[in-house]
A and B are shown apart, each in its own frame.
Chain A
Amino acid sequence: MKVSMTVNGQALEADVEPRWLLVHVLRDQFGLTGTNIGCDTSQCGACTVLMNDRAVKACTVLAVQADGAEILTIEGLKQDGQYHPVQQAFWDEHGLQCGFCTPGMIMTAIDLIKHEAQPNYAAIRHGIEGNLCRCTGYENIVRAIRQAADKM
């Protein structure tokens, strides 16, 4: 069946099976491989994207559920050659090592700051509980999100 959605500001269509996951359509049909897949039980959050302005794990959304939706992925963040403040903060604060969780972590952080403009450290730690990172021990991720919140 046909689905259409706006992805990073661009109207896109795909012919999908009803069982296909949004993350597979983003990656395999639209070529947006910045959104990673880290598990098969919706724990890790590596596949987090914004759907209609809310963070969702794209492995728990069927492609058909995203019909008509606005999707923002990591590829859509950089505007006019400028990094999004959260991207910039992750770079500045060494908030990533292997980088695999990073796109999902950044999308979650954007959602977090949108809904709580000045989160404290505890709120940040709680707010990113749905995203696992195995490299950083989270310390610099928390600092990066705090720094980004100041700039947004």
Chain B
Amino acid sequence: MGVLGQSIKRREDPRLITGEAKYIADIELPGMLHAAVLRSPFAHAKIKSVNVAQAKQAPGVVGVFTGADFAEIPALPCAWQAGGVKNNVNTPRILEIDEVHHTGAGVAVVVAHDRYAAEDALALIQVDYEPLPAVVDAEKATQPGAPQLHENAPNNIVFDWSCGDQAGTDQALQASEVVVKQRLINQRLIPTPMEARGAIGQYSAATDDYTLWLTSQAPHVHRLVMAAFVLGIPEHKIRCIAPQVGGGFGAKIFMYPEYPLVLVLAKRLGRPVKWIETRRENYVATTHGRDHITDIEVGATRDGVITAFKVHTFANLGGVLSTAALGIPTTLYGRLLSGPYKFPHIYCNVQGVYTNTAMVDAYRGAGRPEATYALERAIDLVARELDLDPAEVRRKNFIPPDAFPYAPADDLMAGLEYDSGNYALALDKALEMVNYKELRQEQAHARREGRYLGIGFSSYIEACGLAPSAWIGAQGWGAGLWESANVRMHLTGKVVVTTGSQSHGQGHETTLAQLVADELGIALDDVVVQHSDTQGAPFGYGTYGSRSTAVGAVAVHRSVQRIKEKAKRLAAHMLEANPEDLVYQDGKVFVRGVPAKTKTIQELAAAVALGYSLPEGMEPFFDETSYYDPPNNTYPFGTHICVVEVDAKTGQTKILRYVAIDDVGNVINPMIVDGQIHGGIAQGVSQALYEGAVYDDNGTLVSGSLMDYAVPTAAMLPSYETARTVTPSPVNPLGVKGVGETGTIASTPAVVNAVLDALKPFGVKNLDMPLTPEKVWRAMHANGGNGKEG
């Protein structure tokens, strides 16, 4: 009917552009109290005592609690551990009792009539800490003599995990004509959704039921984890609701101490309890991302064919472990290290490490940006070493289009294969868009004038969906990762879709409605999409890993197909025809070749809802629930090209052009897809040029507020030129792949490679992010700044 593939304006927006939407901070309940958490100023310390006597007397205070008050509640679970190896797990408690391992760890909570009173009382709590030595660098934390964080983790090692073939890779490296080695730092980032976290707990003594409103990307998973692993409450006695959620980027997937905390407080105090995270709290108490120290070795022939790729990474995981922390630098990183390339030998070894820093977990892209950064820097280093065109080195090593399905070497993907791709096509389109040949001439001309242009490439793949369940289960994830959908068509012909996905900006209420309206051949306005409340919705895993289209939309599609099949059987009964002779088209069911014998889907919906005359065995109502567990991930890909000019006087990088060619399979709403790509690119560009969480040696977060951490403004980012190639995925019937993270995955190395290309005349081969003007200027002037060819 023409709504699939169209840039339909978002149905979410009217409530968002008028201020009507209710985020967690906007929710008021009768009798509600307000909580504030006292957080450790020390990165590593023993808690000797906590004195709350004075705070309890403060005006407006209803209760003050410490970790000892909740000693019976276990530490939070780590639900995704490194697969196939020993994991030395330590996780946060809802309030710490004996020891803190990072600044920002919660040690006490005040509940008061309003937040002002709660904050006032926090200042009256006296904590006697015994500070211990701290370590913040992952490599240093593994060395002899480093402060030890946890008894069960000697040398602060969480796990030692590998994938690929060590012996084969070493052998191939030895035999390679050229070997390039490089250390790469993928710095720590702070996700910074514009809405920080929050939770409201409510308890009904009459029914012994709990309700938790929370900033969640996965309310069903929060309920499951809360019930089964934290509070020991039966799962059906908790209802979790994610209201309007103001961005997540991964950080709102996880179980955090404050969520069970507000529930137990609500029960103890007999009143609803609300906790809203401040931005400063968000920076120390919510998860960070990335933070890898990586050494790469890449072997190649003299004409640029890669022969082996070897990677060692220290992954900094913070003082305690977050919910999915260990799956990110293992499965979602090491297994993606073949990227779009046909490398014959790959080996990756990762050591997860405790340090006295905030928890590290998934941040947009989650492992895949780190893998792509290592890969795309490796390709450029080889090109530089051999004086080859970086675009051609990429092309030379691409998996060819006829090689799909393609399994990366050494069983890197643990049994899975890339679904489909045409990597050279995307590269060619990008080269054409930037007018590559002339651009290189312009660069040469500019250099002669003392202006430094750089052209940077990034060719990437993503793995979307994080399923099949059996695969991700073998990778250490402690649950499944299918997705659910329920589609109901009511007597009046109106459709309610419930998805286990959770939209926090992605626009599911629009895209899923487009899909359903198109499939059923009904008006878009006749479909509503509901999500984010465990009551009345089938269990679902939520939104992350670019899975809402790749998995969630496919579940919706399945339910719609079942309704269409049922509609045909019902129409056959009503028209006295053979079901096999019936066709569903444009919202009508008719006998093939006899268009006069027709029932509209609305007529059928009314008939099936009334149930007066149904075929034998048919139940009333169109109501179909699907649980879709995909047979594979989907694998979007593309090439991004960034063109920069670096000012030799200031070291400032200016992005002149940013071209993104992405192939995300079939597209439901091009406007929304472009929006996802824009936002993703912005975050990746910002890692390259601006952002970085900085801890001092004592473990204090120096970049601990928005004054100090460089979330980019509009003036710091370029315009994006986006275009697509379309290679449908054979994994699902929609041919969709997913788009949430592609921009972030691709963009960071494109920018860094561009800056380093600009600095080629200065002999600079590598710089670590963020590429601040000072860092770039120093590199340009390190050898006297004479612009000599390196």
Seen from chain A, the residues whose Cβ lies within 8 Å of a Cβ on chain B are 17, 19-20, 27-28, 32-41, 43-44, 46, 73-75, 77-78, 83, 87, 90-92, 94, 96-103, 106, 121, 124-126, 128-142
Chain B residues near A90 (CB-CB < 8 A): 13, 17
Residue of A nearest to B504 (CB): A98
Any chain A CB within 8 A of the CB of B705?
Answer: yes
Chain A residues near B506 (CB-CB < 8 A): 97
Chain A residues near B247 (CB-CB < 8 A): 97-98, 100, 134-135
Q: Are A75 and B719 in contact (CB under 8 A)?
A: no
B130 to A: closest C-beta gap in Å: 30
Q: Are B246 and A100 in contact (CB under 8 A)?
A: yes
A129 vs B710: C-alpha distance when bound (angstroms):
12
Q: Are B18 and A75 in contact (CB under 8 A)?
A: yes
A101 vs B16: C-alpha distance when bound (angstroms):
10
Q: Are B192 and A96 in contact (CB under 8 A)?
A: no
Q: Are A43 and B192 in contact (CB under 8 A)?
A: no
Chain A residues near B278 (CB-CB < 8 A): 40
| Proximity string of chain B (475-515) to chain A, C-beta cutoff 8 Å, 1 when within and 0 when not | 00000000000000000000000000000111100000000
Q: Are A99 and B246 in contact (CB under 8 A)?
A: yes
Q: Are B714 and A44 in contact (CB under 8 A)?
A: no
Residue of A nearest to B25 (CB): A37
A73 vs B505: C-alpha distance when bound (angstroms):
22
Residue of A nearest to B708 (CB): A41
Q: Are B20 and A34 in contact (CB under 8 A)?
A: yes
Q: How large is the interface on B (under 10, 10 to 19, 20 to 34, 35 or more residues)?
A: 35 or more
Q: Across the A-B interface, give the 6 residue pairs with the lowest CB-CB distance, nearest first.
A: A34-B19, A100-B246, A137-B682, A99-B16, A98-B505, A97-B505
Which of B419-427, B530-538, B673-681 is near enough to bind chain A?
B673-681
Known contacts A129-B714, A134-B192; 4 additional CB pairs below 8 A are A90-B17, A134-B683, A134-B711, A135-B247
A98 partner, pick from B17, B245, B279, B682, beta carbons under 8 A: B245
Residue of B nearest to A124 (CB): B714
A152 to B: closest C-beta gap in Å: 16
Main secondary structure of the interface of B (DSSP, over half): loop
A134 to B: closest C-beta gap in Å: 5
Q: Are A87 and B706 in contact (CB under 8 A)?
A: no
Q: Are A39 and B12 in contact (CB under 8 A)?
A: no
A55 vs B541: C-alpha distance when bound (angstroms):
41
If A39-B706, A136-B678 touch, whether A77 touches B18 (CB-CB below 8 Å) is yes
A46 partner, pick from B10, B20, B194, B675, beta carbons under 8 A: B194
Q: Are A97 and B679 in contact (CB under 8 A)?
A: yes
Chain B residues near A98 (CB-CB < 8 A): 193-195, 245-247, 504-505
Q: Are A99 and B13 in contact (CB under 8 A)?
A: yes
Any chain A CB within 8 A of the CB of B398?
Answer: no
Any chain A CB within 8 A of the CB of B116?
Answer: yes
Any chain A CB within 8 A of the CB of B22?
Answer: yes
Q: Are B720 and A34 in contact (CB under 8 A)?
A: no
Residue of A nearest to B191 (CB): A134
If A40-B278, A99-B246, A101-B194 touch, whether A83 touches B720 (CB-CB below 8 Å) is no
Q: Are B17 and A102 in contact (CB under 8 A)?
A: yes
Chain A residues near B717 (CB-CB < 8 A): 137-139
Chain B residues near A75 (CB-CB < 8 A): 18-20
B715 partner, pick from A40, A96, A126, beta carbons under 8 A: A126
If A36-B195, A99-B244, A99-B505 touch, whether A137 touches B19 (CB-CB below 8 Å) is no
Any chain A CB within 8 A of the CB of B707?
Answer: yes
Q: Are B675 and A97 in contact (CB under 8 A)?
A: yes
Any chain A CB within 8 A of the CB of B26?
Answer: yes
CB<8 Å pairs between A and B, sample of 27: A19-B116, A33-B19, A36-B194, A36-B195, A41-B707, A74-B18, A90-B13, A91-B14, A99-B16, A102-B16, A103-B17, A106-B17, A124-B714, A125-B714, A128-B714, A131-B713, A134-B194, A134-B247, A134-B683, A136-B675, A137-B679, A137-B681, A137-B717, A138-B713, A139-B678, A139-B719, A139-B720
Q: Are A44 and B246 in contact (CB under 8 A)?
A: no
Residue of B nearest to A35 (CB): B19
Chain A residues near B26 (CB-CB < 8 A): 27, 33
Complex interface residues of chain B between 657 and 681 (CB less than 8 A to chain A): 671-672, 674-675, 678-681
Q: Are B18 and A34 in contact (CB under 8 A)?
A: yes
Chain A residues near B245 (CB-CB < 8 A): 98
